[in-house]
Structure 1
């Protein structure tokens, strides 16, 4: 009498081993494709890169937003860790400049992350928790650099997403022809942040205004094909 094969063992995530393997392949493929081509790549292309059927992809990630959050979770954690690490720098100004440069470099290395930094994912709790942690640490970093007399007194947290949007625009326009042009932009921005050379600026945008701008930027990146 033939024996009945044992059921597939569950993985640490609660999925069967084969299902978890497919999940990992999908996330890895999405991370690679988003980094290379941006977030508007057809889901079918991601499934093909992962070596799974498109139905399998949609069962695991019914929405594009869910797949994006899964693909960039590790990078968002690195984003948050960069702010925490900057706080350990004994020179607050050096820590501030190093953080801005590092985040802009993360954008330059990953076309998808360029857009993710200006998007929100309300249903991805861990993803948004990492973003919140980064924001809190960056706020502290700003306060330390100002207290040291190095960062201009009128710098506000809303300036950082504005920097990222500016950097994203330069990257989009110059990546193929002048891939290092973004470094010059960041250099200009950091020089403008120095207290020693600060000149009066117009009032900054309010937090709600920047939030609306981020949502608008995300909508512009939203693909017209199936989510």
Structure 2
């Protein structure tokens, strides 16, 4: 690829990252093109579609946010580690509307974004299994429940305010196994 084409791609990626951070994944492509100093046609030529651009630009950012949530896991027990992970994901969702849209699977056919989502659920599933093994998490909880929890939290975050914390607390209380 020519040097000018590579520069265009990098300018598009930088402009898209800024636009998505400001306006979410629905940021107008014309705005991104204007910021990058290219035509919208150049974006389509280089990335194929809006989804292709989002996948190319946002996946790395989302993976960093997920890594932050994983790094924030704390606690002495499997239950504490599981709940700290869920709350750290919630914090990341509330702090970054673009990450919130990603984990809500708004762009379900973007392979790189899907990989980030799948990793978020997979890591949570590992924590769930540990909590189930020590008897603190309901035996009937499944990875799909965590996926839906992340999606539900995205909807609560989108409503604004801090209600999402209460909603996650209620959900986690429902997942906790109580002694008979």
Decide: shared fold, TM above 0.5: yes
Contact 2:153–2:164 (8 Å) recurs in 1: yes
Provide the TM-score with structure 2 as the length reference: 0.80
Deviations 1:121-156 (A, max 9, x none): 35x3x5444444443332221110111222222221
1:85 Cα offset (Å): 4.8
Match of 2:96 among 110, 120, 131: 110
Q: Structure 1 residues 77-86 or 181-190, which shifts more? A: 77-86
Query: Which runs of structure 2 are paired with 1:185-200 in the superposition (5 Å)?
Result: 185-196=167-178
Between the two proteins, the alignment pairs up a number of residues equal to 178
1:65 Cα offset (Å): 0.9
Q: Which protein, 1 or 2, shows the higher relative CO under an 8 Å CA cutoff with sep ≥ 6?
A: 1
1:168 Cα offset (Å): 2.1
1:158 Cα offset (Å): 1.5
Query: Which runs of structure 2 are paired with 1:1-227 in the superposition (5 Å)?
Result: 15-78=1-64, 81=67, 85=71, 91-117=77-103, 118=105, 119-121=107-109, 124=111, 126-174=112-160, 178=161, 180-196=162-178
Root-mean-square deviation over aligned CA pairs: 2.8
1:87 Cα offset (Å): 7.9
Unaligned runs of 5+ in 2: none
Unaligned runs of 5+ in 1: 1-14, 199-227
Provide the TM-score with structure 1 as the length reference: 0.66
SS of alignment partner, residue 153 of structure 1:
coil
In terms of fraction of residues, the more helix-rich structure is 2
SS of alignment partner, residue 196 of structure 1:
coil
